[in-house]
Structure formats: C-alpha cells, structure tokens
Structure 1
Amino acid sequence: MSNVQLENEISQKRKVFKTDSYPMSIGEFSNMYINNEVLINPDFQRNFRWSDLQKSKLIESILLGIPVPPIFVYQNDKGIWEVVDGLQRLSTILQFMGVHKSEPPLELVETNYLPSLKGIVWGNNEESDDNNPLIFSNKQKLDFKRSKINLSIILNDSDKDAKFDIFERLNTGGSFANPQEVRNSVMVMMNKPIFERFLSLSTNSNFINCLNINERLINENYNMELALRFIGINNFSFDSKVHVSDYLDHISKKLCEYGDSEFEDIEEKFIKIFTLLNNVSGENSFRRFKEDKYTGGFQESTFEFVTIGVFNNIEDLTESNLLEKIRSVFTNDTFNRYTGSGSNIKTRVPKFLTEAPTHFKVN
C-alpha cells in the first residue's frame, strides 16, 4: 500500500466522522435534559449499573476539579442529543441533582478524600439550608452547576453508522466485560424491538437447557453470543477471512435491519430446532459421546456441527431419528479432523457447512 493510497483513505474516512467538541456547565446540561433536548437510554448499559461508591467518587471528582472523561453524544436529525457514551456519568450527576426521570435522588457515601460526603443529598429548593449539614448549601449547588463537563458531539451529517462504530470503539476492552455486551448495547441503539426478540431467543428455556453452561457464562452473556453465532452461520454467509468477533458484530447489525416478518422466520426455526434438540438429548446435546456415555461439558465445535446439520434438515428430523445422528457425529471423519487441539472456527465452520447437512440428512 502506497502512502498516497493511505492518504486518500484517511481523507475519505475522515468525512464519515463529523464531530464538534466544547465544554458545557453541568447546570446547562441538566436544563437541556429537563427540556427533553438530551436523550438518555438506560438500556444501552443496563447491565453495568454503578454502585453508590462509584457514583459518590464521580461527584467527589467534580467537587475537587479532577478531570472527568468526555461525554459522547450523537445529534439526531431533530437536533436532539442522544448519549452514546458516558451514560453512567451523566445519570449519576442528574440523579444526585434530583432531576433524573427514572432514578430516585442519590444519597452520597463516604469517599477517601471527602469522608464528610456520607449522607449528603442535593435537596430541593425548599430544603436548601446552609445550616443543614446533610443538604448541599446554596453555594455548593452553584459551584457544582458551574462545573464543566467536556462534550464530543457526533454531528448529524456523519455516516449513519458513526455513532455505533464510536460506541463500539469506546467500550470494547473498556468498561464493558466482553464484546457481546457491546453488541447488545449497539442493537438497543439500532433497533430495540428486534434486540428484545433476540434476547428472548437467547434465554429460551429449551436453548439454555441444551447449552448446559454455568451461571457465570450466562451472566457474561455467552448464551447470547452462541445464539448470534447460530443465527449468523445458518442465515448469513460465513466470512472466514475476518475475526469471529467482527463477524458477529456484522451479524448483529444485519439483524437490526430486519423487519418483523423476516425476523419471525428466524425466530420460528430457532424455537423449533432447540425444542426438538431439548426433547431428544437435552443437556447432552453438545457434549461428547464416547464409549456409550457422555463426557465433558459444552463444546463449541459440537454446537456448530449439530446445529448446522439440524438447521438444514429440520423438516425431516424427528425425535425418533435424531438421537443416533447426534451420537454418530463423533465418528464423523470431517468433524474429528477439524476439532480438538488447535481447532479454529475460521477453518472448521466452512467444512462443517458442507459436511453437517449431509451427516444429518434423513435417507
């Protein structure tokens, strides 16, 4: 790649992200929120609620003049700001000031530098009393509202995916535990109704029972990643040239472009497949079968091979003929060649997409 080509790419992509930045007082921002000029969607980060100590430390930072990371907002076509990153910070500030529309007023707890914050509340105008030690004084309120927060604004004429791309880059490897939780938040931003239907599939009792994974993995949304992997591999082209995480990012965005009828087709087949699997083999559906017994725990490679095969033959498979086909997976040459030590999803899935439909075919 030449430097000229690189420069051209930089120049073109810079046009995708049009931003503006400036500091704003907390008082001014809270007024915008009260007047519905700023949208804060708690579903973006609903799994990452701060503790009272974390919230109190943020208030402490503002009071002491310690810099707070910038807030990212997206200006929609009506001129209204949608919070892309910084929801917890903004929610904490608004909750402390008693103006948050869905959270009760915040009572602070003791912090390292300001132990006297313990029990402090903002109070309303009638309660503003300089003699009440548990209510912010008028001076403290004014100082707090005059404190500045830095805003980075993604302007409306940016590329339509800009706010999602920025959200992913800010949160991947940061405050979020894993990439699936970032995808969940992006899906909420793009199409909340579709996300809720996807969430329902990923927590379907038949699906969860077949996976047979522990509570820790469910808390980390591993079941959602597996549901997305199943939907992607079986309903979209599998791209072996990209990292699986990037592939799943792409699938989550494609799903959000679906209408109700399109998603219904995915939904109905998903439920039908995992209901059948649960009835036939239950929690053993994706465990290794060897020497007439099941061993070990859930295996991703088994999950992929079995679900690809069942997906492509669901109209012919029944409770009477499926169990033996699942058990015989472990004697399939292609399955054994591309699983085990050193197995890689990018190399095995293309092979599985060819072999698994044949293995599960009903003669």
Structure 2
Amino acid sequence: MAIEGAQTPPDVVEDVFDGRATDIEVEDAGEDATRIQRPWNPDQIRVNTSQFSLRNILDQIDEGSIELAPDFQRLRVWRVDQKSLLVESLLLQIPLPAFYFAEDADGSFRVVDGLQRLSTLHSFVRGGETGFALGKLEHLDDLKDLRFSDLPVPFQRRINNTQLIVNVIDPTTPRGVTYEIFKRINTGGTPLNAQEIRHCMSSPRSRDILHRMTHTDAFAKATGGRLTNHIRMNDREMALRFAAFWLKGVAAYHERPVMEQFLMDATEMLDSAKQVPDERVAELEVVFERAMHRASMVFGEHAFRKWPQGDDYRRPINRALFETWSMALADPEDATHEDTSMDLFTRREAIVKAARDRMTTDVTYLNAITSSTADRHRVDYRFKAAVADAGAGQ
C-alpha cells in the first residue's frame, strides 16, 4: 500500500565478504571521509629498510616484540591451500614481497603489511599440533599433508633461514601519516578495511575495550546476533563510533569533519589511560550497554536499520543510524537512575512512528544516512533528527 507523500527509499546494498552477506549496509561516506590531515612535511616520513631471517622474526613474535593482534578475525579467511602455497614459495626459495612494520617508542613492532603472511608462517613453523599441515602444492607434491616437524631437516632449515625484507616506519612518523602509509601499501589478496587497519595499529587497551563493548547480550540482541565477532570487524567499528561521539562530542567532529581521523583519534584516546581513565571506560561501557538495551526495547529487530512506513522488510544495519540512535538513547553522562528506560518503554510506539515517518518522507534525512554520510552538515542533521524523534510522545 503506497503512502501519500512518501519518498522512494534509496536502494539498500548489503556488504558481502567471501560470498557471505555481512548484515551491514554498504556506506557511502563521501570523499572527505578518508582524508587524513594534509599536507605532510616529507621530512616527517621516516622508513628504514632492514633484513631479518624468518627464525628471528618468529622469535620476536613469540617473545611479544612483534604483535599479531590475536583476535583479528580476518586471519582465518586464508584457506589451507593458500597457506600451503606461501610455504611452498619459501621452500622453492622464491623471495616474498617486502613487509612493513611500524615501530613503537618502546622498540616493539606492529605489522603494517604482511600480517596474514606472518600469521600463516608462524602457525606453520611454531604452531605444533595446532598448526596446519600442507595442502595442495604446485611443485612439491610429495610434501602434501606434512607438518613443519615432518619436513626433512634441510627444508626446515631453508624455511627458518629465509631472509625477509622489512620496511620499518620510525616511531617519530606522525600517527596519521602511518595510517595513510598503511592504506597505500595495503595491497594483499584481501585488503584490510579501515577498522581492521585501526585494529592493527592500536594497542591492547582499546582493543580490549571495544571487545568488551561488543560482547554483551544487549549488543547481540540489538544487532540481531550476527554482528558480534564480525569477520570484517564492523562490530568494533560500531562501538568505536559510539565511543568517539560520546567522548569527543558532535561539535568536535564539526571542527574536523574527517571520519577516519575522528575514529583514529578516538582509538588513541582509548589507548591512553591518561586521556580516558579506567573509571571513564567503565562509564562508557555501562552507557553503551544501556543504549543497546533501549534500542532493542524500542525498535526490536529493526534497531539501527532503515524501516520506512509501509515496509517491514528487515534491512542490514546502517552505520549512520547506529551512531546517532545509540547516542540518542544513551543517558547523560551523570545519569544513575532507571526511570528514563521506563519512559522510553511507554513512548516506544510514538518514537517508532516518528522515526519511520522521517525515513519515509524526509529526503534530507534519507540522504544524511545514505550518501556522503561523513559530511558535517549531514552528520549534524541526523544527530538532531534522532534526538528529536527520541523525544516523541513527551
């Protein structure tokens, strides 16, 4: 049944990865969303080239000097045959492409490019029984089904002695420049997305915070149960977006309207106990969980999804709706009482109607949650709209 005055909602395109739907709507953030502050002073970019044996690299991984971001879901997407061909390249003494590391001030390294390759080699050589056996090979068929410990000693030695070229980004290089370098050389078989890059560049503190935020029953219920441990780390990005706006405010985004920079800054804040003390982190997690509970209480299975009047089709999660409605449903920073949730419960039908009406007839709003979503004016409009709709029925 057509609704008088209704606009045709923009086509919703669901992101697909490795042949699987991700339950996340593809975002058109616009060109400005990815522009880290420019111009740079070329003198600030310092990259040194070194050569290490694979044995030395694996030793540093084992001792913790090189971190492989253990909860990085994307590492699982390489098939055994792909991993086996990488090992075969070493056995055939075929040089591997250069690796990129970013050095921290304490002398430890983060893998900027080559994370999947290093993880694969570490799993094969040091994984023992938990590692993998070689699968299909193109030239060394007689080694199929063998683990590292099963290989002839000369082959084991050849792998361990393989020389790897590593370009090391000096710790004095600005973080934003390192991020841009990461993006530019991120040319593997399955390039990392923005959140995966941030994850690799961040410290355990922010990663643990985002992990806890996305591993609650309230988050699972509000996002339909498909987002937790998301293969593209979109669950962590959603939590980070909430944290960024909650910690910094919408006004801070207006001052510097570059979404990737905004989220990178928030990641650095979460990594710093000085900028965001543990008490503040605990408050963030409580408020976020409460917002997730309220989102599912008000919108049910349509939380954070486009839901125009006259159409009950369950669409994928929309990032712009997530960041605005999670903030609109969060308590003020000093709120400690539960009467707000009861008030939302009694007004939920009015709130849903206001939100659905807006998604049906407000072209400006539809644009703000669909295209050029990082534009400061569209960010401002959708945040104000969510706050207004959250107040419906009062």
What's the TM-score once normalised by structure 2's chain length?
0.69
Q: Which runs of 5+ in 2 are unaligned?
A: 1-37
Q: Which runs of 5+ in 1 are unaligned?
A: 1-7, 124-133
SS in structure 1 of the partner of residue 50 of structure 2: strand
Q: What is the Cα deviation at residue 157 of structure 1?
A: 4.3
Matches within 5 A, 1:345-356: 345=373, 346=375, 347-356=377-386
1:271 aligns with 2:254: no
Instruction: Give the corresponding residue for 2:214.
Output: 202
Partner of 2:52: 24
Correspondence for 2:87 among 56, 59, 63: 59
Alignment of 1:243-258 (within 5 A): 243-257=258-272, 258=276
CA contact (8 A) 1:56 1:111 kept: yes
**Counterparts of 1:310 and 1:216 in 2: how far apart (Å)?**
20
Preserved contact between residue 67 and residue 110 of structure 2 (Cα < 8 Å):
yes
Counterpart in 2 of 1:136? 152
The one-letter code sitting in structure 1 at the alignment partner of 2:239 is: A
CA deviations over 1:104-135 (Å, ceiling 9, x no partner) = 45532331122222133443xxxxxxxxxx53
Over residues 186-245 of structure 1, what are the superposed CA-to-partner deviations in whole Å (9 max), with x where a residue is unaligned?
3xx32x233223223234332333334857994433343333333334442443664544
Q: 1:108 to 1:354 in 2, by over 3 A?
A: closer
Q: CA deviation at 1:70?
A: 1.4
Quickly say closer, same or farther: Cα 1:106–1:199, change in 2 above 3 A. closer
SS of corresponding position for 1:120: coil
Once residues 91 and 303 of structure 1 are traced to their aligned partners in structure 2, the CA distance between those partners, rounded to angstroms, is 33
Judge conservation of contact 2:302–2:314 (CA < 8 Å) in 1.
Answer: no
Match of 2:43?
14
2:14: which partner in 1? none
The total of aligned residue pairs comes to: 336
What's the C-alpha RMSD, in Å, of the aligned pairs?
3.9
Q: Report what 2:118 is aligned to.
A: 90
Please name the residue that 1:262 is paired with.
280
Shift of 1:57: 1.0
Q: Which structure has the higher relative contact order (CA within 8 Å, separation 6+)?
A: 2
**Equivalent residue for 2:315?**
297
Please point out which of 153, 157, 166 is paired with 2:168. 153
Alignment partner for residue 41 of structure 1, among 68, 77, 82?
Answer: 68
- Aligned twin of 1:129: none
- Identity of matched residues, %: 19
Residue by residue over 1:226-271, the C-alpha shift from the partner in whole angstroms, topping out at 9 and shown as x without a partner, is 3333333444244366454444344333333322122222211111
The match for 1:171 among 171, 186, 209 is 186
CA contact (8 A) 1:45 1:87 kept: no
Contact kept, 8 Å, 1:310 with 1:360, in 2: the verdict is yes
Give the aligned residue type for 1:200: R
| Structure 1: distance between partners of 2:43 and 2:389 | 49
Deviation at 1:23, TM superposition (A): 2.6
SS of the aligned residue for 2:164 comes to strand
Task: Indicate if the aligned counterparts of 1:110 and 1:116 stay in contact, CA closer than 8 A.
Answer: no
The residue identity in structure 1 corresponding to 2:268 is K
User: 1:211 touches 1:298 (CA, 8 Å); kept in 2?
Assistant: no
Larger Rg: 1
Counterpart Cα distance in 1 of 2:295 and 2:71 = 33
Q: Deviations over 1:17-69 (max 9, x none)?
A: 323213333345456566x3843334274431343322221121122232201
Which residue number corresponds to residue 339 of structure 1?
365
Q: 1:156 to 1:93 in 2, by over 3 A?
A: same
Q: Which position in structure 2 is the counterpart of 1:130?
A: none
Identify the residue that residue 309 of structure 1 maps to in structure 2. 328
User: In the TM superposition, what whole-angstrom CA distance separates every residue of 1:75-110 from its partner, at most 9, and x where no partner exists?
Assistant: 44454555443233334434444x45x874553233
Report if aligned partners of 1:24, 1:148 keep a CA contact under 8 Å in 2. Answer: yes
CA shift in 2, pair 1:279/1:30, >3 Å: closer
1:231: which partner in 2?
243
Give the CA deviation at 1:163.
Answer: 5.5
TM-aligned CA deviation for residue 332 of structure 1: 4.8
Alignment partner, residue 30 of structure 2 = none
Q: State how far apart, in whole Å, the 2-side matches of 1:163 and 1:44 are.
A: 22
Which has the larger displacement, 311-320 or 280-289? 311-320
- What aligned pairs does 1:62-141 form with structure 2 within 5 A after superposition? 62-97=90-125, 99=126, 104=130, 106-123=132-149, 135-138=151-154, 140-141=155-156
Q: Matched residues in 1 for 2:214 and 2:297: separation?
A: 18
SS at match of 2:208: helix
Which has the larger displacement, 170-179 or 271-280?
Answer: 170-179
SS at match of 1:290: coil
